[in-house]
């Protein structure tokens, strides 16, 4: 267990060190209007190349990812049932599911799940 902790700490330190080195050595570029615009044989573009993204689609995709990760966190509980205290596991899983349901009801009240606006 201690070896696993030391290994994860070492990996975290390496990642932080690499992030710091990349931040300090990253070539900073300044974008201007000409470099950001799409190239159409030397002419000005006729329409916008970057279409607006649907915020509603983004919110639904984000909610899907959150609840998909929730499933990944719930699935290992089946294999833990033989080795852990059953009452503590049931209590912790109920608290976890209640937190997720509160989040779902909050999203519903905010209107993030309504497609028609």
Q: If DSSP states are collapsed to H, E and C, what string results for the chain?
A: CHHHHHHHHHHHHHHHHHHHHHHHHCCCCCCCHHHHCCCECCECCCCCCCCCCCHHHHHHHHHHHHHHHHHHHHCCHHHHCCCCCHHHHHHHHHHHHHHHHHHHHHHHHHCCCCCCC
pLDDT digits (tens, 9 = 90+) for 56-95: 788 778 888 888 888 888 888 878 777 888 888 888 889 9
Which CATH number, 2.130.10, 3.30.460, 1.10.10, 1.20.58, labels domain 2-110? Answer: 1.20.58
Of the ranges 27-41, 72-86, 90-104, which is most confident? Answer: 90-104
Calculate mean pLDDT across residues 40-57.
Answer: 67
Q: Which residues contact 112 (CB under 8 A, 6 or more apart)?
A: 56, 59, 60, 63
- Domain regions of the chain by residue span: 2-110
pTM here is: 0.47
- Which of 21-30, 41-50, 54-63 is least confident? 41-50
Calculate mean pLDDT across residues 37-43.
Answer: 61
């Amino acid at each position: 267990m201690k070896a696993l902790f030391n290994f994860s700490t070492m990996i975290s330190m390496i990642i932080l060190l690499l992030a710091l080195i990349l931040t300090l050595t990253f070539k900073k570029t300044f974008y201007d209007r000409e470099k950001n615009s799409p190239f159409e044989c030397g002419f000005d573009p006729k329409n916008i190349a970057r279409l607006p993204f649907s915020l509603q689609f983004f919110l639904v995709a984000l909610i899907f990812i959150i609840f998909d990760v929730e499933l990944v966190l719930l699935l290992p509980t089946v294999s833990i049932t033989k080795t852990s205290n059953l009452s503590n596991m049931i209590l912790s899983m109920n608290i976890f599911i209640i937190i997720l349901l509160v989040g779902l009801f909050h999203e519903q009240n905010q209107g993030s799940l309504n497609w028609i606006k």
